[in-house]
């Protein structure tokens, strides 16, 4: 079966750095997405990786290793507004998006 694994919840301190991991087992791979979802709101796009390596976008970076079936989202200089759930999703060989259950990130002052 197809599976996306992420930690259920993480806690970090304002100003610090946090890494949210995502491992996947899917039938084929055509790209990996990270979305941010604040409580009670819609998911919003953060990043897309299709090749191995690190993609940096401001305070957020996303890394992909296709051979390991692994990605991480790195958040630097954490702010209180970063408290949200972070969703990992993989496009499989049929171009269907498979979603992880999300990681709830709690930022403490």
Applying CB under 8 A, the residues found at the interface with another protein are 4, 8, 30-31, 33, 35, 40-45, 48, 50, 87, 89, 91, 95-102
Smallest distance, another protein to C-beta of residue 13, A: 26
**For another protein, which is the closer residue by CB, 43 or 69?**
43
* Euclidean distance between CA atoms 100 and 86, whole angstroms: 9
Smallest distance, another protein to C-beta of residue 17, A: 25
Smallest distance, another protein to C-beta of residue 11, A: 18
Q: E-strand spans in the chain?
A: 3-5, 9-13, 18-25, 32-37, 44-49, 53-57, 60-65, 70-75, 84-91, 97-99, 103-108
């Amino acid at each position: 079966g197809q599976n996306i694994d992420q930690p259920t919840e993480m806690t970090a301190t304002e100003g610090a750095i946090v890494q949210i991991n995502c491992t996947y087992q899917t039938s084929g791979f055509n790209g990996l997405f990270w979305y941010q979802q604040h409580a009670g709101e819609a998911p919003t796009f953060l990043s897309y990786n299709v090749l191995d390596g690190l993609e940096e976008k401001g305070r957020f970076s996303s890394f992909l290793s296709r051979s390991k079936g692994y990605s991480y989202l790195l958040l630097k200089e954490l702010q209180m507004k970063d408290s949200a759930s972070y969703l990992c999703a993989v496009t499989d060989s049929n171009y269907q998006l498979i979603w992880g259950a999300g990681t709830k990130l709690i930022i403490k002052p």
